[in-house]
Amino acid sequence: MAPVGISSVRKSFGALEVVHGVSIDIKDGEFVVLVGPSGCGKSTLLRMVAGLEDVTSGEIKIGEKVINNLLPRDRDVAMVFQSYALYPLKNVRENMAFGLRMRRTAKEVVEERVASASKTLGLKEYLERFPKELSGGQRQRVAMGRAIVRAPQVFLFDEPLSNLDARLRAQMRVEISLRHERLRTTSIYVTHDQVEAMTMADRIAVMRDGIVEQFGTPTELYDQPANAFVASFIGSPPINMMKGSLQRTAEEAWVDLGAGVRLPVPQGGNGETGMPVTYGVRPENIVIGGPHALEARVTLVEMMGPNYQVLATSGEHQLCLTVDRSNRVAAGDLISLGFDLKSVHLFDQKTGVRI
């Protein structure tokens, strides 16, 4: 195990730069998730740590050692890919053992590691099977097993659960987290799924277009998003965003949505009067009734099990709120919405930065 230091790392393919100076310090034993939309540079960054892509500039360290120019096999990392890349003609045992054999590991050590990994992964009964005789979830476990037997300093995961159905994905998420609790191997996990990021990470780096927008714990990202992009990317259903202009007097502050609609804002915030802002409020921070009312028409009520998800329109704004099932609410109703002011965020419309 070791910390991983990524400093000012850039990557160009020909003339095109796709990673624009990323710096992330990952602590020893930490589980860090890189999350962001498709094409933002997550895999490229991970592949630079693995040694599968050159670093154009900047520095990557594992422990005290700069690894930019080490061959992949000398980096002591193990990677799990989205396409599990199992050897079709080798059985489970041989798939798991192959990497160790290539490194000329002693036969007894290989056997012991494969036995122990297949036990933790629930693969003991499947050691003689071939990949085509396994389910998607079992193949995924074999791919994990191949990484685990290596006992590397760092695990790298690139969307390892993307090929699984929703139920199995949720189950594997828990398994990976539990295994991390036990092994505490420094891990970097790439996904485009914010739920995976929020549930598995010690810390999350939210990426967009080759930069890191924010690096923090799941709670920090959810409660104190650095900007409108992070606020919108994290959370499901997503935060409601309404554009307006900030207004202040000595006594109070509000956002003017136009057409005479005013939304109250928290006391003591920043921003000058007249500033174009976006008013952000998460679905669970809206209540039906209460103070600070905004009139809205219900368009759809979705039964989610523990609560209702209500879609409503107010003027040009579409809003989503999650409310307790004790609310009697149906499509067509005119309702008034109240906001939990402690949880309201304001963003500068020009820069997107939270103010």
| Of 41-49, 109-117, 239-247, 295-303: span binding ligand ADP (CB under 6 A) | 41-49
Is residue 44 close enough to count as binding ligand ADP by CB under 6 A? Answer: yes
Rounded to the nearest angstrom, the gap between the alpha carbon of residue 275 and the centroid of all alpha carbons in its chain is 31
C-alpha–C-alpha distance, residues 105 and 135, integer Å: 29
CB neighbour class for 240 (10 Å; exposed up to 12, middle 13-18, buried from 19): buried
Is residue 18 close enough to count as binding ligand ADP by CB under 6 A? Answer: yes
For 88, phi then psi, to 5°, come to -65, -25
In a 3-state reduction of DSSP, which class is residue 40?
coil
39 binds, among ligand ADP, Mg ion, none (CB under 5 to 8 A by kind): ligand ADP
Closer residue to ligand ADP in complex, CB, 188/323: 188
CB closest to Mg ion, residue no: 43
What is the footprint of ligand ADP within residues 57-76 (CB under 6 A)?
A: none
Is residue 326 close enough to count as binding ligand ADP by CB under 6 A? Answer: no
C-alpha–C-alpha distance, residues 204 and 188, integer Å: 10
Is residue 43 close enough to count as binding Mg ion by CB under 5 A? Answer: yes
We find the least distance from the C-beta atom of residue 43 to Mg ion, in angstroms, to be 3
Closer residue to ligand ADP in complex, CB, 42/169: 42
We find the least distance from the C-beta atom of residue 215 to ligand ADP, in angstroms, to be 16
Is residue 118 close enough to count as binding Mg ion by CB under 5 A? Answer: no
Q: Which of 26, 30, 41, 161 binds ligand ADP (CB under 6 A)?
A: 41
We find the least distance from the C-beta atom of residue 5 to ligand ADP, in angstroms, to be 20
Closer residue to Mg ion in complex, CB, 93/192: 192
Strands of the sheet with 294-303, listed across from one edge = 286-288, 334-339, 294-303, 307-314, 317-324
| Of 37-45, 319-327, 329-337, 342-350: span binding Mg ion (CB under 5 A) | 37-45
Closer residue to Mg ion in complex, CB, 43/214: 43
We find the least distance from the C-beta atom of residue 18 to ligand ADP, in angstroms, to be 4
Is residue 52 close enough to count as binding ligand ADP by CB under 6 A? Answer: no
In a 3-state reduction of DSSP, which class is residue 251?
coil
C-alpha–C-alpha distance, residues 96 and 113, integer Å: 9
In a 3-state reduction of DSSP, which class is residue 113?
helix
Closer residue to Mg ion in complex, CB, 47/354: 47
Closer residue to ligand ADP in complex, CB, 15/106: 15
Is residue 191 close enough to count as binding Mg ion by CB under 5 A? Answer: no
- DSSP string computed for 118-164: HHHTT-GGGTT--GGGS-HHHHHHHHHHHHHTT--SEEEEESTTTTS
Closer residue to ligand ADP in complex, CB, 20/90: 20
Is residue 38 close enough to count as binding ligand ADP by CB under 6 A? Answer: yes
Q: Smallest Cα–Cα separation from 2: which of 143, 120, 146, 151?
A: 151
Closer residue to ligand ADP in complex, CB, 13/87: 13
Which stretches within the chain are classed as H helix?
Answer: 42-50, 92-102, 107-120, 136-148, 166-183, 194-200, 218-223, 228-233
Q: Which of 2, 4, 9, 40 binds ligand ADP (CB under 6 A)?
A: 40
Is residue 42 close enough to count as binding ligand ADP by CB under 6 A? Answer: yes
Residue given tokens 């219900």 in the structure block: 298
Closer residue to ligand ADP in complex, CB, 208/243: 208
User: CB 298: neighbour CB atoms within 10 A?
Assistant: 19
We find the least distance from the C-beta atom of residue 40 to ligand ADP, in angstroms, to be 4
Is residue 43 close enough to count as binding ligand ADP by CB under 6 A? Answer: yes
279, two tokens: 């008013």
Beta-bridge partners for 40:
none
Q: In angstroms, what CA-CA distances link 44 with 34, 54, 85, 309? A: 11, 10, 18, 37
Please give the residue ranges that form the binding site for ligand ADP (CB under 6 A): 13, 18, 36, 38-44
Please give the residue ranges that form the binding site for Mg ion (CB under 5 A): 43
